[in-house]
Structure 1
Amino acid sequence: MRYNIITRNKRLLYITIAAITIGTGLFIRIKKHLFPGVFNLYAGDALYAVMMYFLVSAITKKHLLLKAIIILAVCYAIEFSQLYKVAWIETIRQTLPGKLVLGSGFLYTDLVSYAIGTAFAFFVDYLLIDKGQGAR
């Protein structure tokens, strides 16, 4: 029984962190003038990877490193999908939800931002949440 309580608490924590990350990303996007330009360029993509990591963590019990690899692959796939230019997906990308989820243009620097965000989320999970115990 104790195992289920820990699992539920951890799942709730992951969802809470993902929600806070979404809020932080939207705040940065709305209040761009409060932050340095270079921060505005890369923070959104790094936070996207953080959010994805914790959302996936809330629904799976995979090993931490495997989750990080999956998230990085998904983020990279989304970024590379921006090279695919057809009318229907471009129409989706021009909406706010489409732009937030699918992005709008391929940039190599976004790949670095995703790697940094994924690494950050992995280490937060490993050091503060999982405490080096491995996936349960």
Structure 2
Amino acid sequence: MSAVPLHLMTHPEPLVIARLDSGEEPSWEWSRGPFASLTRSADETSIVCLEDVVPVGVTTEGPFLGVEVAGPLAFEAVGVMAEILTPLVPAGISVLAMSTFDTDWVLVPAAEITTAMEVWRKAGLIVTSTTLSGRSGE
């Protein structure tokens, strides 16, 4: 756990996780927005992206809201995800956790974001909201 409280920044844009068949490629439009991630396995291609860029008929789950850990984080940092996820367990909030080179992200079901923010604040984390214009606020 960190000596300085983690700072979590919520993003307002609705995200989904979309599933394509193995080897199927999304169009480049899927990569716009505050967060996008492409993951390939032998069985599927998964894309986390803005809800409004996914074509009709593609299997999705969501909407989620992205929560970014203020970074960059050191690769040696230990317990970051545990500090974020542990308080959500008693609240019954299931999330998708993802990492980038610089930081970590948690995708929270949109209907649960207010509860998640309250839980994190009670656990001592700093939580701010990022507006569509990119400014932070409480």
TM value normalised by structure 1? 0.28
Larger radius of gyration: 1
Query: Structure 1 or 2: larger helix share?
Result: 1
Normalized per residue, the structure richer in strand is: 2
